[in-house]
Every structure is written in structure tokens, then in C-alpha cells.
């Protein structure tokens, strides 16, 4: 029986059938498929009528949305007519460095003191002015003016953002004290509404040249007069008299 078998038959009788295993693996690779729902075919438009999405390529007939480019115009697009931004010329400008200071006159300050809303024996700050509605809105600070300054009869100590020369003279003539303090947005909010902060921020120093020159000037009663040495770029000040408002009329 062994003599009738060919040499190849005798060898394959004792070895696995590698040809059958290879064909089996090839058939498994050919039958692999993606999990259902894991792959989504893209919509191929513009491939002729036979594709089912030919001719207008799902864009409809004519119109703005059928054109190439941006299908959603910008909010300022007005349908092709001259936009309003080009129809009217520009007039004026807005100063980005301007400050919106609330104005307070000395006569109204004396009225609030007479009515008992403000205590002249204690320091008056912008928080007291806003709380007592002496000033209704404070955006960038309060500027004290000297309108009807002769009506002020009380000796007070007040801290505001800015003050006019006449207001400073009247307050110091009565023996009071006025200090112009610098506040940025954060520090001003911390002064007016300290309950909004878990930890109050540190006082910021002015960075603009205009603010530095104002709050380091003793004539303006700035709060940084004693810290003028921190700004070496400032020019030297002219000598200021000790009592410039001593001879001011009552």
C-alpha cells in the first residue's frame, strides 16, 4: 500500500493542510464588516442624475442659497444695497481714556449734612455718598466742585477722586481736609461693594501719565504726594506755599 503512494502524498499525510487554512483566513478577511452605525457614508453631490442627487446637487433652483461661497451672510449684510455704515459719514470720536466722573457740589454736600444724612465729624468717602444717595451713580469716581461754596459751613474730611481748586480752597479755609485718591475699576468696586469680595484686592498704582501727574501733585491734594519718589520720570515740582487758601474770603 505504501508503494502506491507518491512521495508528495507521503509527505502530506504527516503534515497539516496549509492550503486549506490559508483559503479559510482569506475568506474571513473578505467578510469583515464595520459595526452597524459606526460609519456613515458621505453625501456625494454633483455626480450626475444617476446618483440621485444630480443636476442642482440638493441646492434647489437659483437663489442666494444656491450660489457658491458663504450661504449665511454676515449680520451687517443688507441684501446688496448700500449698508448704513457707508451711507452715513463718521462724525466725532470717542476718547478711550476719558473718565466718567459724577459731579458733586459743596452746597448739596452741606444740605446732606444739615439733614443728618452725612456725619461731618467722621471721614466722608465715596461709599457714604453713594449709600446716602448724595450721588446716585458712580462709574469712575466723584469730582467735587465749588458751586455755591459759601453755603458750606461745616468742617469736614472728605476723600474723592478729583476736586476743583475752589472746592479745595473752601474746605481747607474751614479747617477741613480733602484727599484725592486714585481708584481703578477693581478698587472702586471693592470700595463701594466690599461684600462682593472674599479678599479685598490691594490698591493699584496709576499707570497713565495723566493720572500720575495728577495724584502726585500737592496742589491737587493727591494721595501719592508722599510716594512721588516712586515715579522718577516726573519733572520737579514748583514750590507750593504752605497755606495757599489762608486769605480766602468767607
* Sequence-ordered alpha helix ranges (H) in 148-239: 165-173, 185-192, 209-215
Quickly state the pLDDT bin for 1 (edges 50, 70, 90). very low
Three-state DSSP class for 189?
Answer: helix
Q: Residue 45 — very low, low, confident or very high, per pLDDT cuts 50/70/90?
A: confident
pTM, whole model, 2 decimals? 0.62
Kindly report, residue by residue over 99-150, the tens digit of the pLDDT. Answer: 999 999 999 999 999 999 999 999 999 999 999 999 999 999 999 999 999 9
Give the residue from 211, 210, 212, 203 showing the smallest Cα distance to 231: 212
Indicate the length of the chain as a whole number: 250
Q: 233: which 3 cell numbers?
A: 520720570
Q: Which residue did the predictor score with more confidence, 47 or 202?
A: 202
The CA distance from 72 to 128, in Å, is 53
pLDDT digits (tens, 9 = 90+) for 147-173: 999 999 999 999 999 999 999 999 999
Q: What is the CATH number of domain 102-228?
A: 3.100.10.10
Query: Which residue from 146, 145, 168 is spatially nearest to 157, judged by alpha carbons?
Result: 168
Distance CA 112, CA 82 (A): 55
Residue bearing the bigger pLDDT, 81 or 54: 81
- Which residues make beta-bridge pairs with 102? 142
Q: Identify which of 185, 179, 182, 183 has the alpha carbon closest to the alpha carbon of residue 221.
A: 179
Rg over alpha carbons for the chain, rounded to the nearest Å, is 42
The C-alpha atoms of residue 121 and residue 113 are separated, in whole angstroms, by: 10
Q: Going by C-beta distance under 8 Å and a sequence separation of 6 or more, which residues neighbour residue 99? A: 140, 141
Distance separating alpha carbons of residues 159 and 125, to the nearest angstrom: 5
The H or E element containing residue 211 is helix 209-215
- The mean pLDDT of the chain is 84
18-44 mean pLDDT: 74
- What letter does residue 77 receive in the DSSP assignment? -
Residue 239 has pLDDT above 70, yes or no: no
Amino acid at each position: 500500500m505504501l508503494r502506491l503512494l507518491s512521495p508528495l502524498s507521503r509527505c502530506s499525510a504527516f503534515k497539516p493542510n496549509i492550503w486549506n487554512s490559508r483559503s479559510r483566513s482569506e475568506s474571513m478577511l473578505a467578510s469583515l464588516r464595520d459595526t452597524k452605525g459606526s460609519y456613515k457614508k458621505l453625501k456625494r453631490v454633483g455626480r450626475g442624475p444617476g446618483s440621485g442627487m444630480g443636476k442642482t446637487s440638493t441646492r434647489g433652483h437659483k437663489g442666494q442659497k444656491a450660489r457658491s461661497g458663504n450661504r449665511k451672510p454676515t449680520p451687517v449684510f443688507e441684501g446688496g444695497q448700500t449698508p448704513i455704515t457707508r451711507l452715513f459719514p463718521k462724525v466725532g470720536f470717542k476718547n478711550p481714556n476719558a473718565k466718567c466722573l459724577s459731579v458733586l457740589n459743596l452746597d448739596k454736600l452741606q444740605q446732606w449734612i444739615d439733614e443728618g444724612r452725612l456725619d461731618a465729624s467722621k471721614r466722608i468717602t465715596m461709599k457714604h455718598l453713594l449709600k446716602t444717595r448724595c450721588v446716585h451713580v458712580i462709574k469712575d469716581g466723584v469730582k467735587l466742585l465749588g458751586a455755591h461754596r459759601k453755603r458750606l459751613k461745616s468742617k469736614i474730611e472728605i476723600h474723592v477722586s478729583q476736586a476743583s481748586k475752589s472746592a479745595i480752597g473752601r474746605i481747607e479755609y474751614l479747617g477741613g481736609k480733602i484727599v484725592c485718591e486714585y481708584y481703578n475699576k477693581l478698587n472702586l468696586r471693592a470700595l463701594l461693594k466690599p461684600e462682593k469680595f472674599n479678599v479685598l484686592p490691594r490698591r493699584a498704582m496709576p499707570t497713565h501719565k495723566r493720572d500720575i501727574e495728577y495724584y502726585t501733585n500737592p496742589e491737587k491734594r493727591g494721595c501719592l504726594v508722599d510716594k512721588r519718589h516712586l515715579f522718577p520720570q516726573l519733572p520737579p515740582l514748583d514750590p507750593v506755599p504752605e497755606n495757599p487758601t489762608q486769605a480766602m474770603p468767607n
